[in-house]
């Protein structure tokens, strides 16, 4: 079983749509959770951390369900500039440590 699993997509949505991505992780000892965004042929950039209580940053909402080992990202009012690959990332320890990346979910927002 892969450590971090995501639906690869692509998700093709019109501008203004709401889209949700899901991710599951296999190691119950995982401590930190993140969503990164990666544009084509570029490095990943941190979108947001994911907290147990759920958190929101503008149009983006992240949720964590530790019992189900499940993480989600909701994007409201999609913009063309949201087109990218969204990477679910977990870290086994709170301090410096390696990040385990999912393969990513590709989102394409159309006019």
Partner 1 sequence: GAVVSQHPSRVICKSGTSVKIECRSLDFQATTMFWYRQFPKQSLMLMATSNEGSKATYEQGVEKDKFLINHASLTLSTLTVTSAHPEDSSFYICSASPALNYEQYFGPGTRLTVT
Phi-psi region of 55 (alpha: psi -120 to 50; beta: other; left: phi over 0): beta
**Element (DSSP H or E) covering residue 34:** strand 32-38
Of residues 48 through 77, those in contact with partner 1 by CB under 8 A are none
Where does this chain touch partner 1 (CB under 8 A) — which range of 12-20, 51-59, 64-72, 86-94? 86-94
Of residues 1 through 40, those in contact with partner 1 by CB under 8 A are 4, 32
By CB neighbour count within 10 A (0-12 exposed, 13-18 middle, 19+ buried), where does 79 fall? Answer: exposed
Contact with partner 1 (CB under 8 A) among 14, 41, 58, 67: 41
Residues forming the site for partner 1 (CB under 8 A):
4, 32, 41-46, 87, 91, 93-99, 101-104
């Amino acid at each position: 079983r892969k450590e971090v699993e995501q639906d690869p997509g692509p998700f093709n949505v019109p501008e203004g749509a709401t889209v949700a991505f899901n991710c599951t992780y296999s190691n119950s000892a995982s401590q930190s959770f993140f969503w990164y965004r990666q544009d084509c042929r570029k490095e990943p950039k941190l979108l947001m951390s994911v907290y147990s209580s759920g958190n929101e940053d503008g149009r983006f909402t992240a949720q964590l369900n530790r019992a189900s080992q499940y993480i989600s990202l909701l994007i409201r009012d999609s913009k063309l500039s949201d087109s990218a690959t969204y990477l679910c990332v977990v870290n086994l320890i709170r301090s410096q440590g390696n990040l385990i990346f999912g393969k990513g979910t590709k989102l394409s927002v159309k006019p």
